[in-house]
Amino acid sequence: MIRNRPGQRALRYLSPIFVLPCLLVAAGLVPVSGATVAAAAARSPAGPPASLRVGSQVLTRCATSPASYCGTLRVPLDWQNTSDPDISVCYRWYPATDGHPEGTVLPVEGGPGYPSILSVAQGYRPMYGPLLRHFNMLAIDLRGTGCSTVLDCPALQDYSGPPGSLTLAAITGTCADALNKRWRAPGGGYVHASDLFTSAPAAADVAAVIRALGVPRVDLYGDSYGSWFAQVFAARYPALIRSLTLDSTYQVQGLDPWYRSTIATMPGDFDMVCAQTPACAAAGGTSWPRIEALAHALASAPVSGTVPGPDGSPVHVSMGVVGLVNLVSDSAEDPAIYAALDAAARALLDGHQAAPLLRLYASRLAIDEAYFGVPVDTYSVELYMAVSCLDYPQLYPMSASPQARLTDLKADEATLPANTFAPFTTAQWLAMDQNTENYTACLDWPRPAIAQPPIPQPPPFLPSRMPVLILGGSLDTWTPPAGVPEVQAEIGGDNRFVEFANETHVVGEGDPYGCASSIIQAFVTDPAALPGLNVSCAAAVPSIRAVGAFASSLSTVTPLRLRSGSISAATLKLAAASVLTAGDAWSRYVSIAGTHDTGCTAAPSRRPAARNSRWPVTSSCRG
């Protein structure tokens, strides 16, 4: 189950559609609160020293503006058998900039498989903003990610076949088998390492780094899987926690292996987005029945065509019903899908125009589903599989053989009501990209030999006085607000949930409105003030503006209506087409990497660069 994509959030954050707060933090070198810090070299006129002692660790300067220091720590591969080989865990230390640190924040990235350090510049530093003047920040790449003994199996990392197939499961199993022949055991043979890249040993690594740096307690933040890991860490090491922020979180022990809450919450969310936009609501009815009709149409007849790709260049795209499964699933984190899918469905169903849907799907393939083929130091598919297969509940016993697992899976499928994933069949839903929901990719993972449950104790996991802030978007179908009460019951602690209207998955990192980030900053500043924290901005997040229609020609455009005066109908149609085309070009800004784009049938459009930019009205993708 993937629960986060930093690249998508970074694009949302950089979009000129949103007004971004400008949070500039000056660089500097400061002492560490609660830790022993000494400069190991004299400060040069050019900036902070080249090395820094923090606790028992001597760190090397990585950057000067803002100042950051890199370190590594050797930790046991198997914390239950410290005579086994060690591995390396890397981290980065960002000293507070005002010289008087009040504590240390520790953000953890999601996935699983994404490294935390990579998200600092565009994610965590803007999220914490001015708080970093008087708080240190520590970012640690969890074992198996980034620069922490990354798991890299090229056959899996660069896989190009069907993402929901048994072929992927076989390759995943082969990669895991190779892990069990990577490290030699002291007494002979090999360490069963396929069990050792899960959340529990990663939490032990993080605790070891915190202690080595002499930091008494941290303010822990996790987004998506990072929030799941944060629950594990806080439950295992509560004495190291000052405050806990869970952004878009989900249950550790009560998780449904079918993930049915995703499909259950979709209809209402798509209906609401359309209803809140007059241009979409004017189509009549509600949105989800049209998406249901689209599913049936694609199951009968997949579509294909040439449309603008994510860099603006034409690409050939084919899409069937499983493609729609992935598309609606990815709406959990991608507002562009909520905005465009209803109109794209109507364009195909009513006007036999596939281009808007295919263009949306092409963007999804590049932005929302960029898993395979990416550099392993930005996302490790094998680490994702290691955590998913052993930490998350499966639809079959992992102690069984691969064939027995498959038999159990088929038997479980047969017990489900036929409409569980309607309008999709169970087979169609389970064929989705396994990096999103891992239904079949673990079928060939080796039988576990080392038991390391994420949280061994029963609920509630956390001390009753631990302050816990839970954040979530109202349109997040991966970790929907409806599931938060179960999380609250499991974790215990002194917790409070804040729901953000019209937001999708992960609200703090890549926050375009400055709302969630300001709440996080206030909470970390004074965790005891959680009950009275002002969260009024969460209800005021603007709605997603859904596309009214994708007009195939000028004759199908609804003309503008005048409040007064007299203008010809042809001119009003042309004006409406201009507005629609401009809006479509603007919305495409976050989906293209270049400065040029094309309309759905290759009409040219240039990325707006100035206030007086003009857009052609010849695009056939007016939205």
pLDDT in tens, 465-477: 999 999 999 999 9
Of 171, 164, 94, 197, nearest to 136 by C-alpha is: 94
pLDDT at 12: 45
Q: CA-to-CA distance for 332 and 476, rounded, in angstroms?
A: 5
Q: How confident is the model at residue 6 (pLDDT cuts 50, 70, 90)?
A: low
Q: What is the mean pLDDT of residues 271-300?
A: 97
- Give the other-Cβ count within 10 Å of 267's Cβ: 17
pLDDT at 5: 55
Is residue 364 within 8 Å of residue 337, measured between CB atoms? Answer: yes
CA-derived radius of gyration, the chain: 25
Q: What is the mean pLDDT of residues 489-497?
A: 98
- DSSP label at 296? H
Residue 345's identity, in one-letter code, is A
Is 618's pLDDT higher than 60?
A: no
Higher pLDDT among residues 118 and 616, named by residue = 118
Q: What is the mean pLDDT of residues 377-403?
A: 97
Q: 420: part of which helix (H) or strand (E)? A: none
Q: How confident is the model at residue 312 (pLDDT cuts 50, 70, 90)?
A: confident
Adjacent-strand bridge partners of 551 = 622
Q: Any idea which of 1-5, 154-158, 385-389 has the lowest mean pLDDT? A: 1-5
Q: Both tokens of residue 107?
A: 């953000």
pLDDT at 358: 96
pLDDT at 595: 63
Residue 301's identity, in one-letter code, is A
Q: Which residues contact 189 (CB under 8 A, 6 or more apart)?
A: none
Of 520, 545, 444, nearest to 244 by C-alpha is: 520
pLDDT at 579: 83
pLDDT at 617: 36
Tell me the pLDDT tens digit for each residue of 85-94. 999 999 999 9
Q: Considering the chain, what is the average pLDDT of its residues?
A: 89
Q: Which residues contact 151 (CB under 8 A, 6 or more apart)?
A: 144, 145, 179, 197, 376, 380, 382, 383, 386
Is 622's pLDDT higher than 70?
A: no
CA pseudo-torsion sign 122, 126, 127, 132 = positive
Is 30's pLDDT higher than 80?
A: no
Percent of the chain with pLDDT over 70: 87
pLDDT at 218: 99
Q: What is the pTM of this model?
A: 0.90
Q: CA-to-CA distance for 575 and 556, rounded, in angstroms?
A: 13
Q: Any idea which of 213-227, 256-270, 286-300, 308-322 has the lowest mean pLDDT? A: 308-322
Q: How confident is the model at residue 310 (pLDDT cuts 50, 70, 90)?
A: confident
Is 223's pLDDT higher than 70?
A: yes
- Give the other-Cβ count within 10 Å of 482's Cβ: 13
Of 150, 34, 4, 151, nearest to 90 by C-alpha is: 150
Q: Both tokens of residue 622?
A: 């007016």
Q: CA-to-CA distance for 462 and 488, rounded, in angstroms?
A: 10
3-state secondary structure of 308: strand
pLDDT at 493: 95
pLDDT at 228: 99
Q: How confident is the model at residue 205 (pLDDT cuts 50, 70, 90)?
A: very high
Is 619's pLDDT higher than 80?
A: no
Q: 22: part of which helix (H) or strand (E)? A: none
Is 34's pLDDT higher than 60?
A: no
pLDDT at 454: 98
Tell me the pLDDT tens digit for each residue of 94-121. 999 998 999 999 999 999 999 999 999 9
pLDDT at 583: 74
Tell me the pLDDT tens digit for each residue of 120-146. 999 999 999 999 999 999 999 999 999
pLDDT at 605: 47
Is 33's pLDDT higher than 80?
A: no
Tell me the pLDDT tens digit for each residue of 503-548. 999 999 999 999 999 999 999 999 999 999 999 999 999 999 999 9
Q: What is the mean pLDDT of residues 340-351?
A: 96
Q: How confident is the model at residue 292 (pLDDT cuts 50, 70, 90)?
A: very high
Max mean pLDDT among 64-68, 156-160, 204-208 falls in 204-208
pLDDT at 597: 75
Residue with tokens 């930790």: 75
Residue with tokens 């995703």: 262
